[in-house]
Amino acid sequence: MTLSVDLETCSHPLLAQLVALRDEGVRMEQALETELAAVSPEFHASARNFLHYLAIRQHDIRPLQRDLAALGLSSLGVLESHVMASLNAVTARLEDIRGQDETEKPEPPVDFVTGLGLLQSHADLLLGTPNDGREVRIMVTLPSEAAQDRELIRALIHSGMEVARINCAHDDAEAWKTMARHVREEAFAQGKTCRVQIDLAGPKSRTGKLRALGHMLKIKPERDFRGQVLREGLLWVTPATHPVSYAASGLKPAGANESVACLLFAGEGLDTLGEGDALELRDARGRLRSARVLRVNAHGCLLGFDSVALIEDSAELRSTHKHKPHLRGTLAGAPEVQEELRLCMDDTLVLTRAELPGQAAEVDAAGRVLEPARLHCSLEAAFVDARAGQAVWLDDGRIGARIERMNAETIELRITYAAPEGSRLKAEKGINFPDTYFHVPALTEKDVQDLEAMHAHCDLVAFSFVREPADVALLQSHLARLQANHLGIVLKIENRQAFENLPRLLLAGMRSPQLGVMVARGDLAVELGFERLSEVQEEIIWLCEAAHVPVIWATQILENMAKSGAPSRPEVTDAAMSIRAECVMLNKGPHIVSALDFLIRVLARMEGHYSKRMATLRKLSIAGSVKGV
């Protein structure tokens, strides 16, 4: 059966729709002429293209796309980086089909080549040129140890880190400056470039400390399925009078973990130890535990335990050799052990404004609650702006709640979502108020101080808790005051207001010569709902591509591998999809170098298949399995 298509008849309404879309783009550009005039020259063409895209995305053009595809024309499915050029090209083709003269068309700000080129050049300027011919850059969050462990930074840069991220929510300015200096020096030594990004902490919304039960460190050996010790549990012991971390000690025994627990020793005889010496201590359970000296130098000794040891502060460490110099002293510096808070469905949790240690619910012998669980919330604005009936999520969405009642000092929550056996809640976990609009500056006094301390030591400033254009203008004004306008700005999209205001945030950000967007997927999932995360991250990528603004894909990329050394299947697929962004962020973990190496291999394979959302048809090895074609 042969079907005939009257192309001239079909193309007439399509041509009218295309012209209408094109005209709307022009009108939006004219209506926002004032905003365009404030944009940095580097982003002027990009801002015009962005406005054209916004005009189109105010309509559902799926029927138009289907009709264009039926005629064998472009369905406008990948027009983000060159909107007007795409509309003009398809319009010209339809005019040709109808046999009419080509009409005058608006001059596009970018064409099919320059649009993609602007996105690439903006990414290179902000994030640096990728190493090893890759298209996607890799950012790595530096742990606190990076201030002492220069070898870690050397390994990360050698493996392919292009941006080092310093989180200003932890450590202090001296540690951050040391990290930045190590990055600069190691990159120079290896003949590579590596940007330094600081993340301003913003207004913290976290749980406070729980009631302390004591201080204890657990040392645990690694065993096989028969219970035989494969690797001893490691403990670095260093003098309390002049402590040196294991990372800075210069000792790196083969097979050791990348991070080693440390305790301080007060006593005598530490400097007399030699490799192979036997020591012992009595742990928190009263059990005698033996250890042997694996490595030793002037900074301390590395001990190996073949049994689990629960070491409390003030535990006595002594030598067992009768014919060797005597070692005897006490250990200190074990981490604080806090009370566990376990919450179940319908439980009550009281958030307190006062910074008091949290505690579990008090119950009587019959299990009746006498006093509900209480926990400090670090965000003071919550006690002003939150309202009864609004949702609250804790610990990255693991626990859900609704506000029952509140006053200036407390917020009473009813738990609405938790694991069947209850969910544990610890200190320093995030608290999200997705329904609440906060009247609080996005830049805190601490953020301003951190910016003043670090602006001369970084290349990019990541802006947490940004919600509206005024927030962006505030950061830009501080950068201008510090004569640091050249620094790149990265807008962290991590709450509902930021996502809903993203077009306006991008226009405000384009007043700076360097701009990027970080998709903070963890907080976004909590704020907008996990079921919306995939949709939301796609929309952010589309908008940023239209604005020629590079995207950083963040949160939980290969998190399991960074922590345990082995990736899960879902996170491998997730890592592969990060090819859509200009940069991927890995978080810290004891196996971060291995995770970085693995991610580079995944991206190298995927770059042969994808460029943004456009499939590129490279040669497939399996296609050759069918011969004769």
**400-432 pLDDT, tens per residue?**
999 999 999 999 999 999 999 999 999 989 999
Residues 345-357 have pLDDT tens digits of 999 999 999 999 9
For position 122, what pLDDT does the model report?
97
What is the DSSP-derived secondary structure letter of residue 359? B
CATH 3.20.20.60 domain range(s) in the chain: 119-203+441-550
Q: Does domain 119-203+441-550 have CATH number 3.10.180.10?
A: no
CA dist., res. 237 & res. 578, Å (int): 42
Residue 547 confidence (pLDDT) above 80: yes
CB 599 within 8 A of CB 162: no
**pTM of this prediction exceeds 0.85:** no
By CB neighbour count within 10 A (0-12 exposed, 13-18 middle, 19+ buried), where does 78 fall?
middle
* Domain 212-337 grouped into CATH 3.40.50: no
For 500-512, give the DSSP string: HTHHHHHHHHTTS
- CA 140 from chain center: how many Å? 9
CA 342 to chain centre: 27
Closest C-alpha to 115, from 547, 515, 553, 582: 547
- Relative to beta strand 137-141, strand 610-611 is unpaired
Q: Which helix (H) or strand (E) holds 213?
A: strand 212-219
Q: What percent of the chain has pLDDT over 90?
A: 66
> What's residue 620's pLDDT?
38
Q: What confidence tier does 626 reach under pLDDT thresholds 50, 70, 90?
A: very low
> Which residues are within 8 A (CB) of 14 and not within 5 positions of it... i.e. 6 or more apart?
64, 67, 68, 71, 94
Among 54, 46, 9, 8, smallest CA distance to 28 is for: 54
How many Å separate Cα 116 from the centre of its chain?
26
pLDDT tens per residue across span 51-81:
999 999 988 888 898 999 888 898 898 899 9
Q: Which residues are CB-contacts of 33 (< 8 A; sequence separation ≥ 6)?
A: none
The tokens for 42 are 């580097």
| Over residues 358-370, mean pLDDT | 89
SS3 readout for 304-357: EECCCEEEECCCEEEECCCCCCCCEEEEECCCEEECCEEECCCCEEEEECCCCC
d(CA 240, CA 270): 11
Per the listing, tokens 């298949």 go with 609
Where in the chain are all domains bearing CATH 2.40.33.10? Answer: 340-432
Q: How many residues does the chain have?
A: 629
Interacting residues of 30 by C-beta distance below 8 A, sequence separation 6+: none
Q: Measure the CA–CA gap between 594 and 155, rounded to whole angstroms.
A: 10
CA distances from 498 to 333, 442, 466 (A): 41, 11, 6
Four-residue CA torsion sign, 528, 533, 537, 542: negative
Measured CA to CA, the distance from residue 390 to residue 404 in angstroms comes to 9
SS percent in the chain: helix, strand, coil, step 5 = 35, 25, 40
Count other Cβ atoms within 10 Å, centred on residue 164: 27
Q: How far is CA 607 from CA 104, 123, 170, 438, 610, in A?
A: 39, 17, 35, 41, 5
pLDDT of residue 258: 54
d(CA 221, CA 50): 56
Distance CA 134, CA 572 (A): 18
Mean pLDDT of the chain: 89
CA gap 121, 129 in Å, rounded: 9
Average pLDDT over every residue of 250-269: 76
Confidence category of residue 611, pLDDT binned at 50, 70, 90? low
Using H for helix, E for strand and C for coil, what is the string for 227-267?
CCEEECEEEEEEECCCCCCCCCCCCCCCCCCCCCEEEEEEE
Q: Which of residues 258 and 198 earns the better pLDDT score? A: 198
The secondary structure of residue 358, as a DSSP letter, is B
Rounded Cα–Cα distance for residues 550 and 120 (Å): 8
H/E stretch holding 404 reads strand 399-406
Q: What percent of the chain has pLDDT over 70?
A: 93
Q: Is the pLDDT of residue 573 over 60?
A: yes
Q: List pLDDT tens digits, range 292-344.
A: 999 999 999 999 999 999 999 999 999 987 666 688 999 999 998 888 899 99
Domain with CATH 2.40.30 in the chain: 212-337
What top-level class would CATH report for the domain 340-432? mainly beta
Q: Name residues whose C-beta falls within 8 Å of residue 508's C-beta, 6 or more positions apart in sequence.
A: 469, 472, 473
pLDDT at 431: 95
Instruction: Please state which of the ranges 106-115, 128-137, 249-258 shows the lowest mean pLDDT.
Output: 249-258
Residue 629 has pLDDT above 60, yes or no: no
